[in-house]
A and B are shown apart, each in its own frame.
Chain A
Amino acid sequence: MNKKYAMAYIIDRCIDCKACMVSCKAEWNVPEDFFRTHIDQGLKKELHGKFRMDFLPSQCNHCDKAPCVTVCPTKASHNREDGIVYVDRSRCVGCKYCIPSCPYDARFYNHDLGVAEKCTFCLPRIADGLEPACATTCPGNVRVFGDINDPASEISMVLGAAKENKQKVWKLREDLGTLPNIYYIQK
């Protein structure tokens, strides 16, 4: 069976330290002012006037039906067989159309190279058998990366355990029909 890479975030563990953002930037020389992964904060009012802050990491969702792949005129953005949505830099003309097409705002324009850029699940690293830089760096072990087609992989175990323990598992904006591959787990 083909590999299908995905990532799960156990978001109760996220403390918004931004180590993932920094490691990604350092690993891939991401241009100034841009990040391939983000952590967003949400402030919620609870009972008795107390507030609660939620942290939600996000990155490219490597959607099975990615809008960026549909709208890319040159087919530079494409779905690889292992589930990764990849931008072929030698084909991208830099028309920027994919950037507003992404409902997760995961892409940005690299002014130096003149191409669209985003998370690649650290493709060269995983080819060497390493984990993506963000998953390796995360001190809280929020990010679990792996092949969800392999029942013995860590991510399959984590997702299975979450299901068994009736934890909340969801993906972002599934209503848009993009079939994303980043799982969010919350107790």
Chain B
Amino acid sequence: MRGFVRDNALSLFFLLAFAAALVGQSFAGTADYNARQLTEGGLPVTWADYVTSSDFAVDVAENWQSEYLQFLMFIMVTVWLVQRGSPESKPPGEEGGQSDREQRIGPFARPDSPAWAKAGGVRRSLYSNSLGWVMGLVFAASWFAQSVAGTAAYNNQRLSQLQDPVGWSGYVLSADFWNRTLQNWQSEFLAVLSMIVLAVYLRQRGSPESKPVGAGHAATGVES
């Protein structure tokens, strides 16, 4: 048991942090929603009502989609673009999907390589891009969920302001949808940019996301 916890401590830490933050968001969101209900002469809702509402769903989904987009882009763009000196980048000159030998696939697979890396054809192709596909699918599903929940939340607001509700297609073209979407995207892109650039010059001793403290600023793709 102790061995399992130690071997998976990083995943377990973020799983617990995610759960705690989501529960915290649900309680803070309920309080915020009920405060608005009171000022508008509406009815307070229970925690259970709030966590099954479109308001909660859209707030969760809009953050999920942007986080998955951030990592999807980080994974895909770093295949082709480099940043000299960044531990998040491959060294200049190594842009692209690399050779089968470098990727240890097909005839170059090792005994401990995953089965689909040893296989050929569609399976190898699929597995070679599986991380990007899964991140991309979760991003697309989250963005779609944001659009559906957002339509309901937006229409609730429109009706409260004596305006006609809009359909899904009307909502995805609305300023509300793109404001929610882009305000999340800009912060994610800024965070990635900061990580790539700051890690060229700054260090965090012991972190695999940083170069060793004594590594030169020009050293690229070197992690602790």
Report if A and B associate in a common complex.
no
Binding site for B on A (CB under 8 A): none
